[in-house]
Structure 1
Amino acid sequence: MVDLRNKLSLQHFISPIVTGFILTFLLVVQSCENSYTPKPRGYFKIVLPERNYKHFDNGICPFTFDYPAYGVINRDTVFLDTIPDNPCWFNITFPSLNGNLYLSYKELSGATTLQQLSEDAHKLTFKHTIKADFIEENILETPNNVYGIYYEVGGNAASAVQFFVTDSTKHFLRGSLYFYNTPNADSIAPVVNFIKPDIIKLISTLKWEEPVP
Structure 2
Amino acid sequence: MKIKSFIALIFLTSLTICCKDDVLPKPASQLRLDYPGATYKAFETPCPFTFEMNKTANVETDKDCGYSLHYKKMKATVYLTYKPVQNNIDKLLRDAQKLTYEHVIKADDILEQPFINDNDKVYGMFYRVSGNAATNAQFYVTDSVKHFVTGSVYFYAKPNYDSIMPATDYIKKDMRKIMETFRWK
Give 1:148's aligned residue: 124
Q: Give the counterpart letter for 2:94 in structure 1.
A: E
Q: Give the counterpart letter for 1:70 in structure 2.
A: T
Measured in 1, the distance between the counterparts of 2:44 and 2:84 equals 18
Alignment deviations for residues 160-213 of structure 1 (CA, whole Å, 9 cap, x no partner): 00111100011000000111111111111111112222211111111001xxxx
1:133 to 100, 104, 108: 108
**Conservation of the 8 A alpha-carbon contact between 1:151 and 1:162:** yes
Structure 1 unaligned segments of length 5 or more: list them: 1-12, 77-83
Give 1:5's aligned residue: none
**Conservation of the 8 A alpha-carbon contact between 1:133 and 1:155:** yes
1:56 to 33, 39, 43: 43
Q: Give the counterpart letter for 1:203 in structure 2.
A: M
Give 1:203's aligned residue: 179
Structure 2 unaligned segments of length 5 or more: list them: none
Measured in 1, the distance between the counterparts of 2:171 and 2:77 equals 10
Q: Bigger radius of gyration, 1 or 2?
A: 1
Alignment deviations for residues 17-54 of structure 1 (CA, whole Å, 9 cap, x no partner): 6xx67x949x93xx522xx4543432223241331111
Of Structure 1 and Structure 2, the greater strand share is in: 2
Give 2:135's aligned residue: 159
**Conservation of the 8 A alpha-carbon contact between 1:49 and 1:70:** no
Aligned residues: 182
Q: Give the counterpart letter for 1:105 in structure 2.
A: Y
- What is the TM-score when the length of structure 2 is the normalising length? 0.86
SS of 1:32's equivalent in the other structure is coil
**Mapping 1:106-117, distance limit 5 Å:** 106-110=83-87, 113-117=88-92
- What is the TM-score when the length of structure 1 is the normalising length? 0.76
